[in-house]
Chain A
């Protein structure tokens, strides 16, 4: 720190106004992390992996798409069967009937297993919403896990869709609703009953966007002692600057006005300079 400006205790004193007028300080960032659904899994090598469980909406979309696909496949078979029945010999229509029953059977129990094993944990519905099934520790889902979580699907989707109807049709009990919905909404990492039992988890497949900061600005030494967290904040600001509008960048950079005493574009550049000084010259 070679600057002549006296160091400022940033974390305590700096504050700004959010767009809705609430006051916040840099320390509040800690609280925001509670909102994050990411969790960290330690590998045997001691590295920590970030895993992002897929939320209710993504899983719901995947479920609906899969149900539609199942339904369409069945529909096609039933239509073929009825055409064959009217147009061809009774012998051929018998065989088509038998095949339809086998398709219903495998659709109900093995649709998920089939795709999860062949396509790295992704059924067509999951491909649509960019999620996939993995074991709880983030490894590709095993065949046993896959079978278990799909065996218990009728319990999760009790009364809904082709599979959910299985339990009701065979046991003739009154629809109880959708236990899967309850489990997804009320358990950690949005796991349905089948996930809990098989110890699997559904995660996002799309990695967070990495847009490296391309601009050049020279390192500027920081006229204050920054805590690690504050330093990270500056780095994150630079890393994510491509996602922000210019106005937002300025708004954020001006939070540090007590430190750099600049406004608008100049403030942004100085903050980038600070970040560069943390990163070191390249």
Chain B
């Protein structure tokens, strides 16, 4: 069949398809439409025409036109719906804690990287009064001392709501970004992830040990115990996610490095969605609960409960599903 005859025969179908395309592209949803079957039939027909036109080497204009019609149809028919947003509940009660347990090797590595320097600097600072100044300068230390000075009347009153909102913005921006950077930098063969973990460990460890040694623990610990349950675990999980990426680069196994990396990212993204949520929650606790002035015993009880809840969440949540599937 010559080209013009072909156009003559099929033009009406192309027109109908193009009209349908214009309509659906405006509504952005084929699935909701009632004549979805008719649309898919048209799409198949035009796809076929494109193939026929190509095989018969018809003119470039015709092929370009059909190609653009099929491309537009293709984009409406094959919208990928991954569905993980729809399963938010399942994600938090099931998928996330299970993925954390599945990657326990990297969670533990990250935990060691994050706790060991902490313990080491704590020991050094307990032995030497001046060791803290090898880690940070005098003005930073003085800043922390002033912040947690028990004689400061600030600790006996609640901060105004506006101060809490400002703090919330700061915590979300700073802490979550640190978490995401810890994860993302795993792509640089994990070196940066390890650096961020070690750096934060040494930094936090020094501040904690120093404030404890000078007797400011009574204001520090009631403040941090609540949000620490989520924030410190989240940093460890962020580290684990970063290490998971690096592992894909070092040991791709039977896969090509790119494929291994993509698979690593898919798994690490589950961890990322989890630690992201944890940082946001921790920011809310840190802004609205931690600075509230209450008897220390109340702060310790609530904070301790949060630690138990978070840890048992990672140890136990989502186990039923496995036994149900396997048994």
A92 and B82 form a contact (CB under 8 A): no
B177 and A48 form a contact (CB under 8 A): no
**Do A171 and B181 form a contact, CB below 8 Å, given A47-B47, A92-B162?**
yes
A238 and B80 form a contact (CB under 8 A): no
B176 and A47 form a contact (CB under 8 A): no
B184 and A50 form a contact (CB under 8 A): no
Using CB atoms, name the residue of chain B closest to A236: B60
In the complex, which residues of chain B have a beta carbon less than 8 angstroms from the beta carbon of A235? 3, 57-60
In the complex, which residues of chain B have a beta carbon less than 8 angstroms from the beta carbon of A137? 78
Q: Is B27 an interface residue (CB 8 A)?
A: no
Using CB atoms, name the residue of chain B closest to A170: B181
B50 and A48 form a contact (CB under 8 A): yes
A143 and B85 form a contact (CB under 8 A): yes
CA A47 to CA B52, docked complex, whole Å:
9
Among the stretches B67-75, B87-95, B209-217, B294-302, the one at the interface with A is B67-75
Minimum CB–CB distance from B92 to chain A (whole Å) comes to 17
A95 and B166 form a contact (CB under 8 A): yes
Q: Which residues of chain A from 188 to 228 have a CB within 8 Å of any chain B CB?
A: 193, 196-199, 207-208, 210-213, 228
A144 and B82 form a contact (CB under 8 A): yes
Using CB atoms, name the residue of chain B closest to A276: B4
B74 and A49 form a contact (CB under 8 A): yes
CA A210 to CA B66, docked complex, whole Å:
11
Q: Which residues of chain B from 38 to 66 have a CB within 8 Å of any chain A CB?
A: 43-44, 47-48, 50-51, 54, 57-61, 64-65
Q: Is A267 an interface residue (CB 8 A)?
A: no
Q: Mark A241-274, 1 if CB is under 8 A from B, else 0.
A: 0000000000000000000000000000000000
Q: Is B272 an interface residue (CB 8 A)?
A: yes
Q: Is B170 an interface residue (CB 8 A)?
A: yes
B75 and A240 form a contact (CB under 8 A): no
Q: Is B5 an interface residue (CB 8 A)?
A: yes
B75 and A166 form a contact (CB under 8 A): no
Number of A-B pairs, beta carbon distance below 8 Å? 176
B74 and A138 form a contact (CB under 8 A): yes
Q: Mark A157-185, 1 if CB is under 8 A from B, else 0.
A: 00000000011001101000000000000
CA A279 to CA B264, docked complex, whole Å:
52
**Do A43 and B74 form a contact, CB below 8 Å, given A101-B173, A171-B195?**
yes
B166 and A94 form a contact (CB under 8 A): yes
Q: Is A91 an interface residue (CB 8 A)?
A: yes
Q: Is A64 an interface residue (CB 8 A)?
A: no
In the complex, which residues of chain B have a beta carbon less than 8 angstroms from the beta carbon of A33? none
CA A120 to CA B120, docked complex, whole Å:
51
Q: Is A155 an interface residue (CB 8 A)?
A: yes
In the complex, which residues of chain B have a beta carbon less than 8 angstroms from the beta carbon of A198? 265
Using CB atoms, name the residue of chain B closest to A89: B162
In the complex, which residues of chain B have a beta carbon less than 8 angstroms from the beta carbon of A71? none
In the complex, which residues of chain B have a beta carbon less than 8 angstroms from the beta carbon of A104? 173
CA A236 to CA B48, docked complex, whole Å:
22
Partner pick for A155 among B71, B82, B165, B188, CB 8 A cutoff: B188
In the complex, which residues of chain B have a beta carbon less than 8 angstroms from the beta carbon of A45? 43-44, 47-48
Q: Chain B interface mostly helix, strand, loop or mixed?
A: helix
Using CB atoms, name the residue of chain A closest to B40: A45
CA A129 to CA B263, docked complex, whole Å:
32
Q: Mark A31-58, 1 if CB is under 8 A from B, else 0.
A: 0000000000001011111110000000
B60 and A279 form a contact (CB under 8 A): no
Q: Is B229 an interface residue (CB 8 A)?
A: no
**Do A170 and B176 form a contact, CB below 8 Å, given A95-B165, A199-B262, A279-B3?**
no
In the complex, which residues of chain B have a beta carbon less than 8 angstroms from the beta carbon of A281? 2, 4
A170 and B67 form a contact (CB under 8 A): no
**Do A98 and B78 form a contact, CB below 8 Å, given A46-B51, A148-B265, A239-B61?**
no
In the complex, which residues of chain A have a beta carbon less than 8 angstroms from the beta carbon of B65? 210
CA A247 to CA B61, docked complex, whole Å:
22
CA A210 to CA B70, docked complex, whole Å:
15
Q: Is A282 an interface residue (CB 8 A)?
A: yes
Q: Is A140 an interface residue (CB 8 A)?
A: yes
Q: Is B192 an interface residue (CB 8 A)?
A: yes
CA A75 to CA B185, docked complex, whole Å:
28
Q: Is B196 an interface residue (CB 8 A)?
A: yes
Partner pick for A98 among B79, B169, B192, CB 8 A cutoff: B169
A99 and B59 form a contact (CB under 8 A): no
B2 and A170 form a contact (CB under 8 A): no
Q: Is B163 an interface residue (CB 8 A)?
A: yes
CA A238 to CA B323, docked complex, whole Å:
69
Using CB atoms, name the residue of chain B closest to A239: B61
In the complex, which residues of chain B have a beta carbon less than 8 angstroms from the beta carbon of A50? 64, 67, 71
**Do A98 and B166 form a contact, CB below 8 Å, given A43-B70, A139-B78?**
yes
B187 and A100 form a contact (CB under 8 A): no
